[in-house]
Amino acid sequence: MIELKEEQVETILEKAIEGINSDDDYQLVSMTKKIKYNNALSFFEAAKYIKKNRTFWMSSEEDFYLVGIGQAYEIIAEESRFEETKKAWNQLLEKATIYNPYEQPGTGIVALGGLSFDPKKPTTPLWENFKPSHFTVPEFLMTKHNRECYLTVNILVRKNDHPRQLANEWRDLENSLFQKASIEKQMLTITEKKEIEPTEWKETVRKAKEKINHSDIEKIVLAREMYLRFNENANIGSILQKLLDTHPSSYIFAIEKDEDCFLGATPERLVKLEKDHLLSTCLAGTAPRGKTKEEDQAISEGLLHDQKNREEHDFVVKMIKNAIKDCCTHLDVPNEPIIYPLTNLQHLYTPVTATLKKEYSLFDIIEKLHPTPALGGTPKEASLQFIREYERLDRGWYGAPIGWLDSNQNGEFAVAIRSALIKDTEASLFAGCGVVKDSNPDEEYEETNIKFLPMLSVLGG
């Protein structure tokens, strides 16, 4: 299993420590090796009683998994969050020692995390553990990509550390994490279910519609919350297993911060970067799935030709194209959307591809794209101002960019929808919809009910 020998580990650590000049200085040492295939969720579960702050990421398109355990380094930014996060990431890489002969996506130094939807909106205790920009480089990272499996160990070393002691601690922890752990199958029971101010939410939809009809705003996305209480503490591993079983076409994610966990199954990619090749996704316009093949096909055709949904989708396509055009070359945008089917829902889908210019980074693209019209509205600033003023919800990381980036110039971020914030025996679920000039508050309310279903169904609802 181990290609990186113990004496190599000690030598790498020793050289890194020798290069540290002062007691206040540090260096991140990252070592990657190929391992035999290990079940990603089992690895996640094995860490439950060993390390806090686990992270799980799955992209079904490439059979790609990332599981982060613990934290070797954190990047937190409150002000000028995109610029500060990018600066801190680059400074970390400049000082790091990286042993990674594979350079596969998701290996080497990888930071996993996300950002809040709107740092200008006052925060509440609900999201106190999730900062405006918060990324973690885990102590242990298991990566599964194209049927190959890798383990990356990240160790923050200081001047007076001892290489052998660090190597021994690393080996002992690794052995503990690779103990086979079965996923505890949990049948959660919802003891309390409460929609947060549904009548007031419909009234906000009416206000948004009125604002649109008397201004230059074309669309405002409004979100709402559902509160659940369970009969016992929720087991995150069990919930993830259910999400993997029921939403194989979505990004499955879980980000633990102390006792809280934000998780979900989102179909919406924000951006993917492989070296300089960029892929973004326009996913807007929603309909349910049919109960029969014929009904499903009829609903798909209706969605493709529905004026409201096509307008909503076109807003997103135009915005993404305009947002990234100055940062890219070879921009390619199809003229017509196609249907993107999921377990409970289907969406209008348009992929956008381009080549990223050398002077721009993944964080630059995220800043330009977030929030897309599918989560904020259009024009961006005017719709955000309405949301800040009227939406009775602390979105936190809901609807915001979550994902990962690595030291090999790869990364991928999704939009955190179809999600829930778990706090032991409680959960807050989030869903939103786009309000346009012809919106009907009752119909928008029913659309959010449909969007609650992916998380509600795996939480005992």
Q: How far apart are CA 339 and CA 347, in angstroms?
A: 6
Q: Is 268 a catalytic residue?
A: yes
The residues, ordered by sequence, that sit 6+ positions from 33 with a Cβ below 8 Å of its Cβ are: 2, 3, 4, 150, 151
* Residue given tokens 């794209």 in the structure block: 369
Q: Is 447 annotated as a binding residue?
A: yes
Catalytic: 301?
Answer: no
DSSP 8-state secondary structure symbol assigned to residue 79? S
Dihedral sign for Cα 169, 235, 134, 251, please: positive
| Cα dihedral 311/316/319/323 (nearest 10) | -170
Q: Is 6 helix (H, G, I), strand (E, B) or coil?
A: helix
Q: Which of the residues 268, 391, 412, 444 is marked catalytic?
A: 268
312 is in an annotated binding site: yes
Q: Helix, strand or coil for residue 92?
A: helix
Q: Classify residue 120 by its DSSP letter.
A: T
DSSP 29-72: EEEEEEE----HHHHHHHTTTT-S--EEEEEGGGTEEEEEES-S
- The string over 287-315, giving b where at least 16 C-beta atoms fall within 10 Å of a residue's C-beta and e elsewhere, is bbeeeeeeebeebbeebbebeebbbbbbb
Q: Which residues lie closer than 8 Å to 228 by C-beta, 6 or more apart?
A: 190, 192, 193, 194, 426, 427, 428, 429, 459, 460, 461
How many whole angstroms separate alpha carbon 397 and alpha carbon 266? 13
Catalytic residue among 219, 242, 368, 451: 219
Q: Which amino acid is at 254?
A: A
Helices (H), 277-306: 293-304
Biggest distance spanned by C-alpha atoms of the chain: 71
Beta partners for residue 242, in sequence order: none
Q: How far apart are CA 135 and CA 89, in angstroms?
A: 9
Reported in sequence order, the residue ranges of 105-189 that DSSP labels E, i.e. its strands, are 110-115, 133-137, 140-145, 148-158
List the alpha helices (DSSP H) in 288-430.
293-304, 307-324, 362-369, 380-390
Active site residues: 219, 268
Point out the annotated binding site for Mg(2+). 312, 447
Point out the annotated binding site. 312, 447
